[in-house]
């Protein structure tokens, strides 16, 4: 299964790096891995699709994998200040406007591989967010 097309990685050469054993990533679970020196959040959605995002929260860089992930809704709540992200699409819900950096992913047999862009850039989106009604917890 290749998931390398069209999710924020535009026409940049990637180096495929071994990231995890598929058996470590249960369906409906998230996993923090370090790939080529980068924190990467792996998620295996219900149905088996694997996606990879920046591993550190756009707010204050806490590990997203330490958050609370609800597989049914696809929503991960960061443990830091309760920002919410839809891991089916890699977007923030609350606050809006903080998309997660999305890596290319490939599952080959029992190995999960992540494509690290060879562009010399940081693969981390930082978000200031915007207050929205119903915002929970602290935010700065």
- 132 part of the interface to ligand FES, by CB under 6 A: no
Q: Which of 78, 98, 107, 116 binds ligand FES (CB under 6 A)?
A: 78
Determine the interface stretch with ligand FES among 5-13, 32-40, 76-84, 100-108 (rule: CB under 6 A).
76-84
Assess contact for 130 and 79: CB atoms under 8 A: no
Question: How many of the chain's residues bind ligand FES (CB under 6 A)?
Answer: 8
- 87 part of the interface to ligand FES, by CB under 6 A: no
Which DSSP string do the residues of 82-110 spell out, in sequence order? --EEETTTTEEEESSS-PPPEEEEEEETT
- 90 part of the interface to ligand FES, by CB under 6 A: no
Contacts of 12 (CB under 8 A, 6+ apart): 117, 118, 119
Determine the interface stretch with ligand FES among 22-30, 38-46, 52-60, 92-100 (rule: CB under 6 A).
52-60
Q: Which 55-74 positions form the footprint of ligand FES (CB under 6 A)?
A: 57, 59-60, 62
Alpha carbon distance 65, 103 (integer Å): 16
Compute φ and ψ for 94, nearest 5 degrees. -145, 105
Question: What residues line the site for ligand FES (CB under 6 A)?
Answer: 57, 59-60, 62, 78, 80-81, 83
């Amino acid at each position: 299964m290749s998931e390398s097309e069209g999710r924020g990685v535009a026409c940049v050469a990637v180096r495929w790096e071994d990231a995890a054993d598929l058996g470590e990533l249960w369906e409906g679970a998230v996993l923090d891995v370090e790939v080529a020196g980068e924190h990467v959040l792996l998620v295996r959605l219900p149905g088996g699709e694997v996606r990879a995002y920046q591993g550190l929260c756009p707010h204050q860089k806490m590990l997203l994998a330490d958050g609370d992930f609800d597989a049914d809704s696809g929503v991960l709540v960061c443990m830091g200040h309760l920002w919410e992200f839809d891991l089916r699409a890699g977007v923030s819900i609350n606050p809006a406007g903080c998309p997660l950096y999305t890596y290319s992913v490939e599952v080959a047999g029992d190995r999960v591989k992540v494509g690290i862009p060879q562009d010399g850039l940081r693969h981390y989106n930082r978000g200031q967010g915007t207050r929205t009604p119903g915002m929970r917890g602290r935010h700065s």
